[in-house]
Amino acid sequence: MNWADKAVFYHIYPLGFCGAPMDNDFMSSPQERIQKVADWAGHIADDLGCDALYLGPVFESDHHGYDTADYRLIDRRLGTNQGFREVVERLHNKGIRVVLDGVFHHTGRHFGPFVDVLQKRWDSAYKDWFFLNFDGDNAFHDGLWYDCWEGHQELVKLNLGHPDVRRYLLDSAEGWIREFDIDGIRLDVAYCLEPSFMQELSARCRSVKSGFFLLGEVVHMNDNLKRLLDPDMLHSVTNYECYKGLYSSFNDQNLFEIAHSLERLFGNQPWCLFTGKHLYNFADNHDVSRFATALKCPDQMEAAYTLLYTMPGIPSVYYGSEWGIPGDKKDGDGVLRPCLELEAQKECSLTQHLKKLAEVKKNHPALWEGDYQKEFLTNKQFAFSRNAEGESILIFINAEGQEGNFQLDRRVKGTELLTGQEVELEGNFCLPAYGSAVVKVE
């Protein structure tokens, strides 16, 4: 078992969160904006009950952070290496583990070895670090062609098969652990990375820090991903299937969709993909519309988050979504990655609900290591159980704007964990409009 199995994550995109300029001039003096992350430690840990933080890119980059220029230097728009060490220490002092973004598939055009190639061409010692053709050209008219990530020529693909490239990246990752004492790495576009590289990365990181957490970004859930979720490779991957099912099931009043995904991924049948694994679950992130925008009915928000926190896997909250802030992907990435000031936000019923969910999640092993079993399902009502040795918990979700009835084939007596109320179910259970319940069975 890894520490992340029972964690509740908070996710911050630092460049936007800290109000940094979106273009790096590579000349300005470092600005210690990153300290703002540590200033939110009390909110993250105390107001929300989160005990892990996934931080988007923090290293020197051209623009948005996923176009790395220097893997060993904190982005001058965010601060300095010393300042970031202090941030991690302050977060650790609040009981918050830190996971950083690792962008190892590609770099930005200001990455030193690539600049050397542009300047020296055939004579560059780094020409084999990339996939090049000196007889071609590119959108920047450099007089050479190079492979990139999914057609984005500002993102230069690295040759991970080259031993010097691997050595540089593995040494960089080890340096992050030794210098900053981080607890994990999220691998950007892990679906594009060579498995052998991830195996080497895993071995290196875990040789330096026991229990080091590796999370892979994947988009499409399929049988091929099973090979990635291996003790010698990745501990977890992003669960985009349930991300989509979470909002569309409520929007369409069709809970069969999310129930089907949960069964396909975590059920007890031989064909289920990730039974017993801990995927990284989220309602939104820096790449997609905010949950408050994707979800058509705001009154369904709390029930949807109850589902997120109690389904198998590791729940995560994207900064600002605890207050239900909007943001539509069609308006650009900037609206998804805003600069927020803590004192300008007001605690609401959703933040209180999330704190209670985090408390319940962490105090009940069935919710972080139990199996999954569907108990009742209609278009608008869904009940399932999580069962671990010595503990059984029933979760009820009502997506409807009126009272919802659940039929169970057994008598249940227990405690509703969100309210502390004793409940006794005689084969039938009712929830108010858009309600949810988490019942520990006696």
The residue ranges of every structural domain in the chain are 3-108+162-369, 109-159, 371-441
* Superfamily of structural domain 371-441: Golgi alpha-mannosidase II (2.60.40.1180)
Ramachandran angles phi, psi of 261, nearest 5°: -65, -45
| pLDDT 10s digits, 345-399 | 988 999 999 999 999 999 999 999 999 999 999 999 999 999 998 899 999 999 9
Which of the 8 DSSP states describes residue 311?
S
Three-state DSSP state, 388: strand
| pLDDT 10s digits, 111-139 | 999 999 999 999 999 999 999 999 999 99
* Strand 132-133 to 145-146 pairing: antiparallel
Ramachandran angles phi, psi of 402, nearest 5°: -150, 175
User: Where is average pLDDT lowest: 69-83, 92-106, 175-189, 423-437?
Assistant: 423-437
pLDDT at res. 1: 87
Q: Give the Å distances, CA to CA, from 194 to 111, 191, 280.
A: 21, 8, 21
The pair of three-digit structure tokens given for residue 162, joined into one six-digit string: 């080259």
pLDDT at res. 427: 83
pLDDT at res. 425: 87
* Superfamily of structural domain 109-159: Oligo-1,6-glucosidase; Domain 2 (3.90.400.10)
The pair of three-digit structure tokens given for residue 299, joined into one six-digit string: 């009154």
Average pLDDT over residues 72-94: 99
Answer whether 319's CB lies under 8 Å from 369's CB. no
Provide CATH code, domain 3-108+162-369.
Answer: 3.20.20.80
> Who contacts 70 (Cβ-Cβ below 8 Å, separation ≥6)?
59, 60, 111, 112
Answer whether 430's CB lies under 8 Å from 381's CB. no
Global pTM? 0.97
Amino acid at position 420, single letter: G
Q: How far apart are CA 141 and CA 293, in angstroms?
A: 40
The pair of three-digit structure tokens given for residue 426, joined into one six-digit string: 């005689």
Paired with 317 in beta bridges are 10
In the predicted model, is pLDDT for residue 301 greater than 90?
yes
- Among 437, 316, 312, 438, CA closest to 367: 312
Paired with 416 in beta bridges are 439
